[in-house]
C-alpha cells in the first residue's frame, strides 16, 4: 500500500538519478492492473512530477504477460530511456524481455505479491504521491539467465518448483474478490501452494539429464537425476520466504543449479521448511553446482518458471548467462545520518 516516507529508506530525488542515466526525453509506465497495489496512485501524474514536464511520458495498462512484453517492446522502439514497471516480478520479467537488447533502462515499482527484484536490490517501498522517490539511486547491471531464448533475472527452475508457481498464478487469476482475498496472503501464498503441490499432485518431477561445466573444477560433468526438480538461480532467495544459497550473486556472471532428488514427500516438505529457516544445505540430499551454462533434458514434459511466471513447457532446456544484462535503476544503501542530511538539503532546494 502507499504510505508516507519510510525513514529507514533513502530519501529520494529523481533529478540525481536522472543525471546518471543521461538526458531523459521519453519514459513509459507499464502498469499491471491485476497487481495488488497497482491502483494505489495516479502513476502518470506522480512520475510526471518526478521526472519533470520536459519528459514525454506515456502510461500503458496491461492485464497479462504478453501485454507487458508488447508495451515494453513498443517503449524501446519509441526511443524511451526509461520503462517504469508497476507490478510484481512477472510484470518486471515481461518488461525485461520486451526491452530486449535495447539500452532502455528499467525502473521497478513493487506493486505485486513477492516483488523479488525490488527486495534483492534493496528497494522496499512503493513511491507515495507526496514523496519523491529516486534520490540516491544508481544505474546497476544485473545478470539475466537465458532459458531457450527467454530471459529472467533471479530464481527459476523446473519440476515441483514450477508447479508451485503455476498453482499460485492459477489461484490469483480469478475474479476481483478472489484476487483481493489472495492478495491479503501476500507472499505466503507460495507456502500454501508448496503444501498443496507436494501433498496433492499425482506426479512430481521426473528423470533429468544435466550437462554442465563446473566452474570450480573446470571439468565437463553429466548428472542423471531422478528427482522432484531443479532450481536455477542467481539470487539468494525465492520471494521473502525461501532462502537458497548465500553464495549466489546477481552480478558475477554465474548461476547455480540446486538439485532436489527423489526422497519422500514428507522429506520434501521438511526441505521446504529448512529453506524457510535458511538451512537448505543442512539437508544432506541437496546438491548444488555453480555454472555459466548448462543443458537439461527430462523424460517428460515439465514446466520451467522464472520470476514467478511459467516461461517454458518442454523436455529440453538450454541455460546460460544472457549476453545482455538487466539494466535497472536501484537505490544505493545510505547511512541514516546521510539520509537525514540529504532530506534537509532537498527541503532547502
**Do 48 and 190 have their domain in common?**
no
The 10 Å Cβ neighbour count of residue 224 is 9
**In a domain? residue 6:** no
Q: Would 5 be classed as within a structural domain?
A: no
Same domain, yes or no: 34 and 139: yes
Residue 7 lies inside a defined structural domain of this protein? no
Same domain, 223 and 313: yes
More confidently predicted of 136 and 200: 200
Range of the domain at 30: 14-143+325-348
**CA 326 to CA 235: how far, in whole Å?**
14
290 in the same domain as 235: yes
177 domain-assigned: yes
Q: Please state the rounded mean pLDDT for residues 128-146.
A: 66
- Please report whether residue 1 resides in a domain: no
Give me the numbers of helices (H) and strands (E) for the chain, helices first please: 10, 17
pLDDT tens profile 75-100: 999 999 899 998 888 888 899 999 98
Least confident of 22-36, 101-115, 214-228, 334-348: 334-348
Residue 43: inside a domain, yes or no?
A: yes
Q: In this structure, are 70 and 138 located in the same domain?
A: yes
State what percent of residues in the chain have pLDDT above 70: 77
Q: Mean pLDDT for the chain?
A: 80
Check pLDDT > 50 for residue 258. Answer: yes
Q: In this predicted model, what pLDDT tens digit does every residue of 298-334 receive, in sequence order?
A: 999 999 999 888 999 999 999 999 988 888 877 664 3
> Residue 10: its pLDDT value, please?
34
- Judge if 165 and 201 occupy the same domain: yes
| pLDDT value of position 14 | 42
Q: What total number of domains does the chain contain? A: 2
Where is mean pLDDT largest: 114-128, 186-200, 258-272? 258-272
Same domain, 90 and 180: no
Q: What is the mean pLDDT of residues 133-147?
A: 78
Contact 225, 261 (CB under 8 A): yes
- pLDDT for position 317: 97
**Residue with grid cell 530511456, as numbered in its chain:** 81
- CA-CA distance, 314 to 49, in Å (whole number)? 46
pTM (2 d.p.) = 0.77
Would 9 be classed as within a structural domain?
A: no
Q: What is the DSSP string of 204-223?
A: --EEEEEEEE-TTT--EEEE
Rounded Cα gap, residues 115 and 118, in angstroms = 6
Alpha helices in the chain, H assignment, sequence order: 14-21, 43-51, 65-78, 89-99, 116-120, 160-172, 176-183, 188-200, 265-276, 336-348
- Whether the Cβ atoms of residue 81 and residue 104 lie closer than 8 Å to each other: yes
More confident position, 317 or 139: 317
CATH code of 55's domain: 3.40.50.10330
Whether the per-residue pLDDT at 124 is higher than 90: the answer is no
DSSP string, 223-255: EEEEEEEEEEESSSEETTTEE--TT--TTSS-E
Higher pLDDT, 328 or 258: 258
Residues 336 and 218 in one domain: no
Q: What is the mean pLDDT of residues 58-71?
A: 92
How high is the pLDDT of residue 74?
94
Neighbours of 334 (CB within 10 A): 17
Residues 167, 290: one domain? Answer: yes
> Which residue in 145, 171, 126 sits closest to 31, CA to CA?
126
Residue 293 makes CB contacts below 8 A (sequence gap 6+) with: 212, 213, 318, 319, 320, 321
> For the ranges 112-121, 140-149, 204-213, 257-266, which has the lowest average pLDDT?
112-121
The predicted model gives 259-284 an average pLDDT of 95
Closest CA to 295 of 331, 262, 319: 319
CATH of the domain at 192: 2.60.200.40
Candidates 211, 251, 214, 215; CA nearest to 230 is: 211
Residue 159 in domain: yes
Task: Tell me the average pLDDT across 199-217.
Answer: 92
Reported as a pLDDT band with limits 50, 70 and 90, residue 116 is: low
- Same domain as 182, residue 163: yes
For residues 98 and 60, what is the distance between their CA atoms, to the nearest angstrom?
Answer: 13
Q: Are residues 297 and 175 in the same domain?
A: yes
**What's the sign of the alpha-carbon dihedral 182, 184, 188, 191?**
negative
Residue 1 has pLDDT above 90, yes or no: no
DSSP codes joined into one string, 46-93: HHHHHH-TTSEEEEEEESSHHHHHHHHHHHHHHT-SEEEEEE-HHHHH
- Same domain flag for 189 and 274: yes
Amino acid at each position: 500500500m502507499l504510505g508516507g516516507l519510510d525513514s529507514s529508506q533513502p530519501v529520494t530525488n529523481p533529478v540525481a538519478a536522472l543525471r546518471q542515466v543521461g538526458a531523459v526525453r521519453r519514459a513509459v509506465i507499464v502498469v499491471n492492473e491485476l497487481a495488488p497495489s497497482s491502483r494505489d496512485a495516479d502513476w502518470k501524474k506522480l512520475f510526471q512530477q518526478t521526472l519533470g514536464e520536459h519528459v514525454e511520458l506515456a502510461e500503458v495498462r496491461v492485464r497479462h504477460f504478453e501485454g507487458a512484453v508488447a508495451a515494453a517492446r513498443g517503449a524501446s522502439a519509441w526511443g524511451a530511456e526509461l520503462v517504469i514497471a508497476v507490478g510484481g516480478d512477472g510484470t518486471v520479467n515481461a518488461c525485461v524481455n520486451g526491452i530486449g537488447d535495447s539500452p532502455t533502462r528499467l525502473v521497478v515499482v513493487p506493486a505485486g505479491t513477492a516483488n523479488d527484484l525490488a527486495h534483492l536490490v534493496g528497494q522496499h517501498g512503493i513511491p507515495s504521491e507526496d514523496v519523491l522517490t529516486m534520490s540516491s539511486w544508481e544505474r546497476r547491471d544485473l545478470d539475466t539467465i537465458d532459458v531457450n531464448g527467454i530471459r529472467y533475472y533471479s530464481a527459476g527452475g523446473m519440476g515441483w518448483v514450477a508447479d508451485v508457481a503455476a498453482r499460485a498464478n492459477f489461484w490469483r487469476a480469478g475474479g476481483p474478490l478472489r484476487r483481493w482475498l489472495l492478495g491479503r496472503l501476500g507472499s505466503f501464498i507460495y507456502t500454501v501452494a508448496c503444501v498443496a503441490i507436494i501433498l496433492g499432485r499425482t506426479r512430481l518431477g521426473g528423470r533429468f539429464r544435466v550437462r554442465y561445466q563446473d566452474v570450480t573444477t573446470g571439468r565437463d560433468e553429466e548428472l542423471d537425476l531422478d528427482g522432484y526438480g531443479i532450481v536455477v538461480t542467481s539470487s539468494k532467495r525465492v520471494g521473502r520466504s525461501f532462502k537458497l544459497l548465500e553464495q549466489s550473486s546477481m552480478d558475477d556472471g554465474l548461476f547455480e543449479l540446486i538439485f532436489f532428488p527423489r526422497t519422500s514427500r514428507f522429506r520434501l516438505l521438511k526441505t521446504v521448511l529448512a529453506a524457510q529457516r535458511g538451512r537448505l544445505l543442512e539437508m544432506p540430499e541437496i546438491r548444488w553446482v555453480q555454472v555459466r551454462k548448462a543443458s537439461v533434458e527430462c523424460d517428460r514434459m515439465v514446466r520451467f518458471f522464472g520470476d514467478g511466471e511459467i516461461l517454458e513447457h518442454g523436455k529440453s532446456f538450454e541455460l546460460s548467462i544472457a549476453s545482455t544484462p538487466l539494466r535497472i535503476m536501484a537505490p544505493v544503501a545510505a547511512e541514516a545520518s546521510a539520509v537525514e542530511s540529504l532530506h534537509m538539503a532537498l527541503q532547502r532546494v
